[in-house]
Structure 1
Amino acid sequence: MGAGHSHVPGDSSLGPAPHRVRVVVALVVGPLVLATLVGLWVLWPTGDLEITTPGADVQRGTAKVEALVPCARDSDGCRAAEVELLSGPGAPGTDRAILPYGPGAPQVEVGDRIIVSYVGDSPDGERYAFQDFDRGPPLLTLTVLFAVGVLLLSRWRGIGSLVSLAATLVLIAVFTLPAIMAGSSPLLVAIVTASASMVVTLYLSHGFTVRTTVAMLGTLVSLVLIGGIGWVFTTVVRFTGQVDEGSQYIATIAAQVDLRGLLLAGLVIGALGVLDDVTVTQTWAVWELADVDPEATARGLFVRAMRIGRSHVASTVNTLVLAYVGATLPLMLVFSALQLPFGIAVSQEVVAQEVVRGLVGGLGIIAAVPVTTAVAALVAGVLVRERGAAQRAPSHRA
């Protein structure tokens, strides 16, 4: 393999990272991985959490509507259905289920797959009740289409992306949610979750390379900034965290959960995906610029890559803020119908939370671009010099 052409896969043709760069990377990544593992060990929930509240012990399953039948109860408008039980108590088998009725009730038709709750024996013989539609099959179809699309575009690299996504979802299910329910600090749990997800996602999706590590460092710095600013402003604006039915229900059944910390946890985890996109793009941009310019300097790489970064920030921040605006659009319509002044409407906690999320996340993105670009330019500048020295070496020997 000729001089200047051997390189780590995924690091373009800049050549392998010098020994001192690899040492610095190891000194940075090693403690981060160790701290993440320690955090997982310390915060990992132990034992089952006992929750006693109405509805906590209700058994549920899935069923298919075979026929609509008259309701046995003496109530105007009551509806029922003969259902084939597919899972849950009584499955497999057939039984009757009460359907929702009244103004605004969902319309259930023959052939629909529904989720039913088991209400036990009743005088009218209807032991099940409709809870919701079973959306599992269409969601599974959409998931398969998504996976196929990722694989068609990204090929083998897409496999790593899908595996990392699955690992993140499993981590949230088995660690993040139980740890928060057990009473651990939601912010600390979110930081450990984000750190573990970041390491797994970036390295599986983009390979164990120096530039992947640079992207990870930029993401880490931005997450710390988001956590800090988020903590300050959720305290200053006096958020309670009890703004919707979900948070109010959690406050009732699990008083040990810090709802304001839960808001911070959602902010950190929600920003991680956007930050990954920004830091990876910036790092790859620096590497590509260095790859085509054998005389590139760290300063020159930083200046040129920042031109790309400014455009990226403008579009990404807009996307992030609009996503949070969309989440509160129905509520904003209510405020509009009530003709509340804009300042008062925005000051409502349910809206103000989305404002804080959007602006704090935007600040994290703004910080991620120069930080990541600067680190990437410094490292790429070293690799450019090493490549130049390797290419000049044969002529010197001659």
Structure 2
Amino acid sequence: MKHIGKRLGLLLILCLTAAALWSLNSGIDKPALVNTEGRSFERAEVVQVLRDNRQENGSRIGDQIVLLRLADGAQETANCPNGMLFGAVCEPGMPVVAMSSRAGSLVTYTVYSYDRTLRGLGFIAFFCFLLSLVGGRKGIRSVAALLSTFLLFLFLFLPLLMHGIAPIPAAMVTAGLILLLTVWLVCGWSRQAAAAAGGAFGGVFFAGLSAVAFGESAHLSGYNVGNIEALIFVEQNTAIDVGGLLFAGILFVSLGAVLDIAMDVSAAVTEIHRGRSEEHGAFLFRSGMSVGRDVMGTMAATLILAVFGSSLGTWVLDYVYDLPLLQLINSNRVDIVLMQGLSGGIGVILTVPLTSALSSWLLTRRSCHVSIKKFWKKEDHNPDYVVKYGQENL
């Protein structure tokens, strides 16, 4: 009966959540920012290349003219542009995406790109299979957590922006739900899960806070990004506050790394408590800090490298053009990358003591009265001293 009650309660929560998301998304009225009347996309297959654009030296100049077989079996002549972002180098039998443009009774077809649908879905399926194979039940739950994260972005965060909610509060709400769902799916309802969720949320909060503080002091805002012209056009036609998107994005950038280190610390402290349940909160806190210090440096480096890698093209251009150092360190794009990486790193660093303190408190159910300063003294590096000092003061 107890398990049935929990399942019914969970089912009720899921139903209420689905109803709330449905209500939130049903009230969205998206403005027509681009005229798409008469334009549609469909899958097709290249039957024949009627005119190629390959030159004698191997380069391609101009467009290809190809014969396509559409999804309904009809064959149509299409133009295939020679571009880096649109078009493709067509060959017979190649699956492509065709764009049809209708103007009155005239219909023209253009090859938009390769058809990567099956390859993309296959890559996602392989990732989920590998995660489930190695992770077992927890791997399957991790797949469910990733799916939930995507759905929350699509059906919660973006609709909140469309309803005029400021990006940072909307990101905090979405990040909090992602943390709760991920931790619950991986760990279930436990003290370990509560400590990981609380520590991770605190780390994300401080990452966002440090980003806002740096942005205010350095006069950076969401209006300093590269695609600001398109974003301002969106802001003028919707209720989205473009200025806060930059800082909301930093919350999501740091979310994965912060949650990872929070789970590592809380799991380590929980395992130590299981093996040595007689130890006091001081010892568990110290153990969590020791584990966190080992992981903290590599996790912060991973986060900074991820941010650096996402803007690698910009760094290459700056290096090749040999821009002066004074210009580089005061350019908006470099300062934004710096803010993203270091703010996320600050969140990772502060997650360690937060999760250690929460884990030790929840597992022992009593406050740790040992002064934090004692943990940084040389004599405290001896675990026996921690136990002795904790027993004298708890």
The answer to whether the superposition gives a TM-score over 0.5 is: yes
In structure 1, C-alpha distance between the alignment counterparts of 2:45 and 2:121, rounded to whole Å: 17
Give yes or no for the alignment of 1:77 onto 2:59.
Answer: no
Cα deviation 1:351-378 (Å, max 9, x = unaligned):
3222111100000000000110111012
Cα deviation 1:141-164 (Å, max 9, x = unaligned):
111111111111111122221112
After TM superposition, give the deviation of residue 48 of structure 1 in Å: 2.2
**Quick check: 1:45–1:182 contact (8 Å CA) kept in 2?**
no
Unmatched 5+ stretches in structure 1: 1-32, 384-398
Distance 1:243-1:55 versus aligned 2 partners, 3 A rule: farther
**Quick check: 1:53–1:253 contact (8 Å CA) kept in 2?**
no
Give yes or no for the alignment of 1:278 onto 2:261.
Answer: yes
**Quick check: 1:77–1:102 contact (8 Å CA) kept in 2?**
no
Partner SS for 2:161: helix
In structure 1, C-alpha distance between the alignment counterparts of 2:344 and 2:146, rounded to whole Å: 21
Give yes or no for the alignment of 1:119 onto 2:90.
Answer: no
In structure 1, C-alpha distance between the alignment counterparts of 2:201 and 2:48, rounded to whole Å: 56
**Quick check: 1:181–1:254 contact (8 Å CA) kept in 2?**
no
Residue 373 (structure 1) aligns with: 356
Residue 91 (structure 2) aligns with: 109
Partner SS for 1:183: coil
Partner SS for 1:311: helix
Amino acid at match of 2:28: G
- What is the percent sequence identity of the aligned residues? 24
Distance 1:165-1:257 versus aligned 2 partners, 3 A rule: same
Structure 1 length-normalised TM: 0.77
Residue 32 (structure 2) aligns with: 51
Given candidates 106, 109, 113, the residue that maps to 1:128 is: 109
Partner SS for 2:323: coil
**Quick check: 2:38–2:101 contact (8 Å CA) kept in 1?**
no
**Quick check: 1:332–1:345 contact (8 Å CA) kept in 2?**
no
Partner SS for 1:120: strand
Amino acid at match of 1:293: R
In structure 2, C-alpha distance between the alignment counterparts of 1:379 and 1:185, rounded to whole Å: 34
Identify which range, 44-53 or 163-172, moves more after superposition. 44-53
Residue 126 (structure 2) aligns with: 145
Identify which range, 290-299 or 260-269, moves more after superposition. 290-299
* Equivalences for residues 1-398 of structure 1 within 5 A: 46-54=27-35, 58-70=39-51, 77-86=62-71, 91=72, 93-101=74-82, 106-121=88-103, 127-237=108-218, 238-245=220-227, 247-255=228-236, 256-382=239-365
**Quick check: 1:43–1:189 contact (8 Å CA) kept in 2?**
no
**Quick check: 1:51–1:253 contact (8 Å CA) kept in 2?**
no
Partner SS for 2:102: coil
After TM superposition, give the deviation of residue 294 of structure 1 in Å: 3.8
After TM superposition, give the deviation of residue 42 of structure 1 in Å: 10
**Quick check: 2:88–2:114 contact (8 Å CA) kept in 1?**
no
In structure 1, C-alpha distance between the alignment counterparts of 2:64 and 2:310, rounded to whole Å: 34
After TM superposition, give the deviation of residue 343 of structure 1 in Å: 3.9
Amino acid at match of 2:212: W
**Quick check: 1:51–1:254 contact (8 Å CA) kept in 2?**
no
Amino acid at match of 1:305: G
Amino acid at match of 2:160: A
After TM superposition, give the deviation of residue 287 of structure 1 in Å: 0.8
Distance 1:170-1:93 versus aligned 2 partners, 3 A rule: farther
In structure 2, C-alpha distance between the alignment counterparts of 1:204 and 1:240, rounded to whole Å: 34
Amino acid at match of 1:115: V
**Quick check: 2:149–2:178 contact (8 Å CA) kept in 1?**
yes
Cα deviation 1:285-334 (Å, max 9, x = unaligned):
00111122243221111112211111101000000001111111111111
**Quick check: 2:28–2:159 contact (8 Å CA) kept in 1?**
no
Please report the RMSD computed on the Cα atoms of aligned residues, expressed in angstroms. Answer: 3.0
Cα deviation 1:223-279 (Å, max 9, x = unaligned):
22122222222233323435334x432322442432231111111122111111111
Distance 1:210-1:102 versus aligned 2 partners, 3 A rule: closer
Structure 2 length-normalised TM: 0.77
Distance 1:102-1:150 versus aligned 2 partners, 3 A rule: closer
Unmatched 5+ stretches in structure 2: 1-13, 53-60, 367-394
**Quick check: 1:43–1:184 contact (8 Å CA) kept in 2?**
no
Distance 1:224-1:42 versus aligned 2 partners, 3 A rule: farther
Amino acid at match of 1:281: D
Cα deviation 1:80-105 (Å, max 9, x = unaligned):
2212224xxxx453322211127997
In structure 2, C-alpha distance between the alignment counterparts of 1:163 and 1:178, rounded to whole Å: 22
